[in-house]
Structure 1
Amino acid sequence: MEETTPVSSMIRQNGPIKIAAWRLMMEKYQDFMTRFEHEFRTRHGLSANEFDVLINASTSAQVRHRDLLRSLVISRSALSRLLGKLEGRGLVTQEPDPEDHRGVLVALTEAGQKLCAEAAETNGEIIISAFSGLTDAEAEEIFQLVSKICPVG
């Protein structure tokens, strides 16, 4: 079976290069997410979204539910479901915020910290492997170029 031409390549030949570049970034993102999903699931029993919650919750002893929501690309109800699953597995705790009774504080348990650290190593391996064809200077250039993209809205 023949390999199909990525849409970004077709756009690059026939359309604006900025749209082709955007499409290429999306294709690469999808490649990464497919690999993350597979490796997190097989190595750690986590989905990519569950890892995202753990890694974002690991930045402090406790994090507010609403602050987690700001750092993730999921809905409030999806976050609540994920936290419920992670809590059921003994990876996080949730408790009312004593300063804001409507809020919830989330913390990783010891098991959650251990699993998060293991999955973070997998995350790093995948990224380093994918970027292995680049020098540090080229990675810096990509960082600088992507930083120049204006936010939408």
Structure 2
Amino acid sequence: MDKTTPVSSMIRQNGPIKIAAWRLMMEKYQDFYTRFEHEFRTRHGLTVNEFDVLINARPAAQVRQRDLLRSLVISRSALSRLLGKLEDRGLVTQEPDREDQRGVLVALTAEGQRLCDEAAATNAEIILAGFAGLTDAEADEIFELVSKVRPVE
């Protein structure tokens, strides 16, 4: 069975290369995301977003919910629901911020830290497998090139 030609390749042949490059990054992201989704669920009982919360709440001290939100790609209400689920599972704690009564402080429990460490190893395994065809110098070059992409304002 023939593979379908990726949209990025079609754009590269017929359209602006910058749009093709963007599309290729999105296609690669989707490939990784699909693998993360499967492996986190089957190995650790986590969704990608749950892992994202755990890995971003890793500091030894508590993190403000609003600071956590800045690190994630989800809405405030989605984060609140997600934190509630993680708290119900005993993976995080939430408590009012004594210095800012409107704020909420989030911390990993010992179980949350353990699960985060295990899932972080899976995360690294998937990324390193995906980048296995690159040298460190090539990965550094990709980092430098992608760093030049400016955010749209």
What interval of TM-score do these two structures reach, taking the shorter chain for normalisation? over 0.9
Structure 1 residue 114 corresponds to structure 2 residue 117: no
Q: Secondary structure at the match of 2:103?
A: strand
CA distance in 2, matches of 1:118, 1:57: 15
Is structure 2 residue 52 aligned with structure 1 residue 86?
no
TM-score in terms of structure 1 length = 0.98
**Given the alignment of the two structures, is residue 149 of structure 1 paired with residue 119 of structure 2, yes or no?**
no
What runs of 5+ residues in structure 1 fail to find an aligned partner? none
Partner of 2:25: 25
Match of 1:44 in 2: 44
Map 1:9-24 → 2, pairs under 5 A = 9-24=9-24
AA partner of residue 94 (structure 1): Q
Counterpart secondary structure, 2:95? strand
Q: Mapping of 1:49-88 within 5 angstroms? A: 49-88=49-88
Equivalent-residue separation in structure 2 for 1:136 and 1:63 (angstroms): 33
Aligned-residue CA RMSD in angstroms? 0.6
The TM-score normalised by the length of structure 2 is: 0.98
How many residue pairs match? The answer is 153
Could you tell me which amino acid in structure 1 is paired with residue 108 of structure 2? Answer: L
Residue correspondence of structure 1 range 127-138 to structure 2 within 5 A: 127-138=127-138
Query: What do residues 58-88 of structure 1 show as CA deviations (whole Å, max 9, x unaligned)?
Result: 1342000000000100000000010000000
Amino acid at match of 1:31: D
